[in-house]
Structure 1
């Protein structure tokens, strides 16, 4: 199988949650491969700094301040893309929330935020991307950055509704694949599930457990490599599920 990113050069990719961690790593690699990358996140200053850092690369980064929990922000972002850059070819749903909480005495607003970001925000962005792809006859690619916790629940006491939100992403990826398949669409969907990654979201109790052991945690660039791999496959090859975990995982 020949792997190549050539067909994406000059095309538009949207990356949510692009102000830190995995989102930054994905945005950087896509720009380096020659794409016009629209970075969506609330912390625009961070994205502006990243855009300056990437000046001179094959592609370009376009930061847009976006709260993925707000439909209006998402609609405005996709409208700006349509008016200024052209058709969307790639969407990477990376934005995620995982504030520590519990089911026994957790805060309702915390639960709502996790579900709104991880499930509803992902659904709204996906809908808008596919709507644009279909309108422009684009055989695009949707990538959900899921989690190992979308397939199994770890015995950490403050996970709360986070695994439930990621199990939902697993179901949403497969439901979308079936919908696209029923339409004979060539738009691809990849459900990419990382194990523990060294980002701001890693719970402090987990960091204490790993005690700096590199065999127990991944780097954001390694997840971005997985995104590039999925995108590099021939048009008729779909990486439906991709799990990337450390060689010595937590369980």
Structure 2
């Protein structure tokens, strides 16, 4: 991770859970982190809480790096104008990004035969369009600055490989799309003879408030399954980032022991 010290990462969805855990780990490895969420007032507290929880569980690994700076910024990735304003701020203030962690997402709990258009649009706007616009802006910024070793990481879901129930169909469709977008970007990099990387981190069930906000998003069987901690997913992100320049992690699938999905 030493080569990332002093560089800039953008992490979306950092007001809780996986995003907060990724943000603190990057910051503590010397990376300057632009941490964004709709609930900007919760970001700094969530990142500090994730760090403290890791220490309490014996999961915190101190580094010799000087901690990076944390910039908490408000952004709704479902709104293109928010994303464009964010990247302008990053360019004007920090020069640009070297790492993009597309973590922000929302769940869905409607059958495709019953889903309301507003709900369908929200899922697509955040999980697919928002991710795609963030990726486009990050890659264009890197190319304009001559950065050829940047790394894009999409936090996907095991839902991108299955459709466990009828109520999960739309959400699963968005996560299947994330996988296709990642592979398309990899081929884009190959065509440009670029050394930039794109990776998918694909977790199974994770114990975060993501599920709490959508109580009907899971069956009783899923509720009773064991789950991952946010720290587990953040560790996978750092593993992908720490690979040497000639190694690219295409996908890490990480699931709790005993998961039935």
Aligned to 2:108: 99
Residue 261 (structure 2) pairs with residue 247 (structure 1): no
Q: RMSD of the alignment, in Å?
A: 1.8
Aligned to 1:164: 173
Could you tell me whether the CA contact under 8 Å between 1:13 and 1:36 is conserved in 2?
Answer: yes
| TM score, norm. by length of structure 1 | 0.91
Residue 66 (structure 2) pairs with residue 70 (structure 1): no
Aligned to 2:17: 21
Deviation at 1:52, TM superposition (A): 6.7
Deviation at 1:76, TM superposition (A): 0.9
Which structure 1 segments of 5+ residues have no match?
Answer: none
Aligned to 2:120: 111
Aligned to 2:60: none
Aligned to 2:33: 37
- Distance, in Å, in 1 between the alignment partners of 2:27 and 2:116 is 39
Pick which of 76-85 and 124-133 moved more. 76-85
- Distance, in Å, in 1 between the alignment partners of 2:259 and 2:107 is 20
Could you tell me whether the CA contact under 8 Å between 2:108 and 2:170 is conserved in 1?
Answer: no
Which contiguous aligned blocks of 4+ residues in structure 1 show a shift greater than 6 angstroms?
51-54
Residue 3 (structure 2) pairs with residue 7 (structure 1): yes
3-state secondary structure, aligned to 1:47: helix
Q: In the TM superposition, what whole-angstrom CA distance separates every residue of 1:121-153 from its partner, at most 9, and x where no partner exists?
A: 000000000011111121100000011111111
Aligned length: 242
| TM score, norm. by length of structure 2 | 0.88
Q: In the TM superposition, what whole-angstrom CA distance separates every residue of 1:23-50 from its partner, at most 9, and x where no partner exists?
A: 1111111111111000111000001434
Aligned to 1:152: 162
- Distance, in Å, in 2 between the alignment partners of 1:52 and 1:136 is 32
**C-alpha spacing 1:211/1:68, structure 2 compared with 1 (3 Å):** closer
Deviation at 1:102, TM superposition (A): 1.8
Could you tell me whether the CA contact under 8 Å between 2:179 and 2:200 is conserved in 1?
Answer: yes
- Distance, in Å, in 1 between the alignment partners of 2:103 and 2:192 is 26
Aligned to 2:132: 123
Which structure 2 segments of 5+ residues have no match?
Answer: 52-65
- Distance, in Å, in 2 between the alignment partners of 1:41 and 1:210 is 27
Deviation at 1:90, TM superposition (A): 0.1
Could you tell me whether the CA contact under 8 Å between 1:51 and 1:61 is conserved in 2?
Answer: no
Deviation at 1:210, TM superposition (A): 4.9
